[in-house]
Amino acid sequence: MRRWATGLSVLLNLLLIGLGLIALQRLGGYRYALYRLSHPEAGLYAQRKSLFSLFPDAPGALVMLGDSQIEQCEWRELLGDSLPIRNRGISGDNIKGVSSRLGEVMRHQPRLVMLCVGLNDLLSDQPIDQLGNAYENLVHQLRRQCPASQLVLCSVLPVNNSIRHTGIENSQIGQLNAKIRAIATRFSLPYLDLFHELGDADGKLLPACTPDGVHLNAQGYLIWKKQLDKILLGL
């Protein structure tokens, strides 16, 4: 009897472990879970969304949409006052997260939306083809909900694992960027190739442009601005 009870207990524990692993995978995988646990800024998602909802509509705005690379820049001061600018970046966000908050973006009927997202998705261990499909669905949503807006697709930026290990390889980023570039071609959209503009000869994020191997400093954002200015001049 005791042996039977022990066997049942082991079986139940294995079942619970299995269910836990399945749930973990559906939530993005162990690397993404570790990222969330070690990056408290990811918990700012709800706070940022609630803050956005307080602000009035800004018809014809330039909306900067994406993850921490968008959030951490003072775009209004960097780009000037030729267009009203709305920073809609959230640290830790991914393709699915951006897709879920397009209502906030589209209520402004923006003149231009610049999209930069995808790096955090590479922590989820999803196949690149799957991420490419999710990204293309996001573009479909943007085009359908606000067809009059100009949409610019920005490459995922490189990382520098020599400064800090990120858990992501630039080869993965390059594969995802190839998908994003192909999507831009299919939709006849501008593609901003910051991966190469901000990468060194080995494809790593330029050390002079980053404090931590992932995010940009002022010099990095000035390179971004130079590329974006070429698009803004055509508006």
Summarize pLDDT for 103-137 with one digit per residue, the tens.
999 999 999 999 999 999 998 888 999 999 999 99
Residues 131 and 154 in one domain: yes
Residues 97 and 192 in one domain: yes
Residues 13 and 105 in one domain: no
The larger pLDDT score, comparing residue 160 to residue 48, is at 160
Residues 9 and 64 in one domain: no
pLDDT of residue 24: 45
CATH number at residue 187: 3.40.50.1110
Residues 162 and 221 in one domain: yes
* Helix/strand/coil for 123: helix
Residues 119 and 136 in one domain: yes
Residues 171 and 106 in one domain: yes
Q: Are 107 and 19 in contact (CB under 8 A)?
A: no
Residues 214 and 101 in one domain: yes
What is the C-alpha to C-alpha distance for residues 31 and 37, in angstroms, rounded to an integer?
10
- Residue range(s) defining the domain that contains residue 17: 1-38
pLDDT level of residue 41 (50, 70, 90 thresholds): very low
pLDDT of residue 173: 98
Mark residue 65 as left, alpha or beta (left: phi above 0; alpha: psi -120 to 50; beta: remaining).
Answer: beta
DSSP element (H, E) containing 41: none
pLDDT level of residue 84 (50, 70, 90 thresholds): very high
| Token representation of residue 20 | 């836990």
pLDDT level of residue 90 (50, 70, 90 thresholds): very high
Predicted model pTM: 0.80
Contacts of 19 (CB under 8 A, 6+ apart): none
Residues 55 and 18 in one domain: no
Residues 148 and 187 in one domain: yes
Summarize pLDDT for 147-204 with one digit per residue, the tens.
999 999 999 999 999 999 999 999 999 999 999 999 999 999 999 999 999 999 999 9
What percentage of residues in the chain have a pLDDT greater than 70? 80
What is the C-alpha to C-alpha distance for residues 120 and 25, in angstroms, rounded to an integer?
15
Residue 23 has pLDDT above 90, yes or no: no
Q: Which residues of 87-118 are buried (b: 16+ CB within 10 A; e: fewer)?
A: bbbbbbbbbebbbebbebbbbbebbbbbbbbb
Summarize pLDDT for 203-223 with one digit per residue, the tens.
999 999 999 999 999 999 999
Residues 54 and 128 in one domain: yes
Residues 8 and 123 in one domain: no
Torsion angle defined by CA atoms of residues 68, 227, 138 and 127, in that order, rounded to the nearest 10 degrees: -70
pLDDT of residue 77: 95
Residue 29 has pLDDT above 70, yes or no: no
Q: How much is the average pLDDT of 97-106? A: 93
How many structural domains is the chain composed of? 2
pLDDT of residue 28: 47
